[in-house]
Amino acid sequence: MQTTQKTTAIERAKQVRLMVFDVDGVLTDGRLRYGSDGEILKTFHVLDGHGIKLLQQSGVKTAIISARQSPIVAKRAADLGISIVMQGIHDKRSAFETLLTETGLGPQDCGFMGDDVIDLPVMTRVAFAASVPNGHEEVRSRAHYVAQASGGLGAVREVCDFILRAQDNYQAAMAPYLT
d(CA 167, CA 59) in angstroms, rounded, equals 11
| Number of domains comprising the chain | 1
Per-residue pLDDT reduced to its tens digit, 54-96: 999 999 999 999 999 999 999 999 999 999 999 999 999 999 9
In this model, does residue 1 exceed pLDDT 60?
no
Long-range pairs for 125-131: beta carbons < 8 A, 24 or more residues apart: 125/93, 125/96, 126/20, 127/12, 127/15, 127/16, 128/9, 128/12, 128/13, 128/15, 128/16, 128/19, 128/163, 130/159, 130/162
In this prediction, residue 5 carries a pLDDT of 65
CATH of the domain at 7: 3.40.50.1000
Note whether residue 175 is domain-resident. Answer: no
Instruction: For residue 25, tell me if it sits in a domain.
Output: yes
Element (H, E) at 131: strand 128-131
Measured CA to CA, the distance from residue 6 to residue 2 in angstroms comes to: 6
Contact (CB, 8 A) for 77 and 64: yes
Phi, psi of 73 (to 5 degrees): -70, -40
Helix, strand or coil, per DSSP, at residue 174: helix
Query: Is 67 within the bounds of a domain?
Result: yes
Where in the sequence is the domain holding 17, given as residue range(s)?
3-169
Spatial contact of 157 and 48, defined as CB atoms under 8 Å apart: yes
Supply the pTM of this predicted model.
Answer: 0.93
- Evaluate whether residue 177 is within a structural domain: no
Q: pLDDT tens across 7-52, in order?
A: 699 999 999 999 999 999 999 998 888 888 877 788 999 999 999 9
Q: Distance between CA atoms of 97 and 74, rounded to whole angstroms? A: 21
Asked whether residue 178 is domain-assigned, the answer is no
pLDDT at position 4, please?
A: 60
| Residue 174 falls inside a structural domain | no
